[in-house]
């Protein structure tokens, strides 16, 4: 086999290996990001449950708590960062 053909085969192999590694890294990063998002949502949900002193099945109690926080934010004009984030999380998790 001629040397230029061996070089061409080596380059083709390298391209395939690099392409596979690039694809694999992209899938890993996507999975890792999705896991971080799910962990953040679960943390926010747990914080709301703790603050509302509710169990996961007590949806009406959680909604009532979130409504109270929303009223505090918008009717009483509470501009604290804590209340703002709590109302945002309630809304994002479907409790308001």
Q: Is the pTM of this model over 0.75?
A: no
23 vs 10: CA distance, rounded Å? 20
**pLDDT-flagged residues of the chain (< 70):** 1
5: tokens are 């053909």
What pLDDT is recorded for position 74? 87
What pLDDT is recorded for position 1? 67
Closest listed residue to residue 90, CA positions, set 41, 54, 55 = 41
């Amino acid at each position: 086999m001629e040397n230029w053909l061996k070089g061409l085969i080596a380059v083709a192999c390298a391209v395939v290996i690099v392409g596979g590694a690039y694809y694999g890294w992209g899938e890993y990063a996507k999975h890792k990001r999705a896991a971080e998002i799910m962990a953040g949502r679960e943390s926010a949900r747990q914080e709301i449950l703790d603050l509302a002193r509710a169990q996961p099945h007590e949806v009406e109690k959680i909604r009532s708590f979130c409504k109270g926080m929303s009223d505090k934010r918008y009717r009483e004009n509470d501009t604290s960062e804590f209340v703002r984030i709590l109302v945002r999380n309630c809304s994002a998790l479907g409790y308001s």
